[in-house]
Structure 1
Amino acid sequence: MSETSPTRSRPGGPPGGGRDTQGGPPGGGREGAVAGAGPVDTAWLVASVALLLAGIVAYYWFDTQHMAVRIAMVLGGLALGVVAFWMSAYGKAAWTFTTGSRVELRKMVWPTLPETRNITLIVFVFVLILGIFFWVIDWILAWGTRSLLGGGA
């Protein structure tokens, strides 16, 4: 088997040279698709959007009701929409992403207080220097323009 054979896998790559069993690109060409999501999950997603919209429509439809009732309708639609979203594979994938992000956030090395002060001071000084620089450039260009057009005193 030669090195250029399409069925030979690269080191660390998937078998078959990066193609799945159907011969398509890795992942089946469905970028961003949630694993295990089917028509029921799509229905949950549509239901979540519909519940949110129903709460918003109810807010305007029942405009004679007390404001607290109308706000409760929106919040109720939002709450039911969130519950419907979390019931789908999309909601479960979002929760998995959120928990993974929290784990990665804990791994982050945050700067110490003196480092934060020093960097902030550097940024302020740099902004001040650039402000003065652009003020001088603007003043020179305005002086030149007035001199050329005869509007200066």
Structure 2
Amino acid sequence: MADKLKFVVALGFLIAGVIGFYMLSEQPMILRVLSVLFGFGAGVAVAWFTAPGRTFLVFSKESWLETKKVVWPTRKETIQTTGIVFAFVLVMAIVLWVTDKSLEWVVYDLVLGWKK
């Protein structure tokens, strides 16, 4: 129950920051942006101390460690893969265009007899 209350308070801070942005419409933009950032920061700070917030922090750290383990492709591999994708898209476009025109010819010229 306490975690839910903390999340409601965190959401309240976020909403207050957004409302502050619009309430300070006559003020310089920096104050308006700081209002949103303060609301966001206060909301994150409150949510940080909930059980789901701590779980999310652990998950984030583990995710960051997993991304360090990934073997990212080299520039050459990326360019080759992109070229293969473009070639496949081009071939599929041609196949679909030929299929469309063939069906158009069969339906309009042969079946219906509508000569163009």
Shared topology, TM-score over 0.5?
Answer: yes
Deviates more, 1:73-82 or 1:55-64: 55-64
**Max radius of gyration: which structure?**
1
Which sections of structure 2, spanning at least 5 residues, go unmatched? Answer: none
Structure 2 length-normalised TM: 0.81
Asked which structure has the greater RCO (Cα within 8 Å, sep 6+), the reply is 2
Aligned to 1:136: 98
Q: Provide closer, same or farther for how the CA distance between residues 45 and 149 of structure 1 changes in structure 2, counting only shifts above 3 A.
A: farther
| Runs of 4+ in structure 1 over 6 Å off | none
Amino acid at match of 2:64: R
Aligned to 2:59: 97
Structure 1 length-normalised TM: 0.64
Aligned to 1:53: 15
Distance 2:30 2:78 in 1: 44
Which sections of structure 1, spanning at least 5 residues, go unmatched? Answer: 1-38
Aligned to 1:107: 69
The structure carrying a bigger helix percent of its residues is 2
CA deviation digits over 1:57-77, x for unaligned, max 9? 222234333333222211211
Distance 2:82 2:54 in 1: 40
Deviates more, 1:58-67 or 1:126-135: 58-67
Distance 1:92 1:144 in 2: 64
Cα RMSD for the two superposed structures: 2.1
Distance 1:96 1:122 in 2: 39
Distance 2:102 2:23 in 1: 61
Amino acid at match of 2:82: T
CA deviation digits over 1:29-76, x for unaligned, max 9? xxxxxxxxxx33322221111100111122223433333322221121
Q: SS at the partner of 1:64?
A: coil
CA deviation digits over 1:68-90, x for unaligned, max 9? 32222112111111111112222
Distance 2:19 2:37 in 1: 12
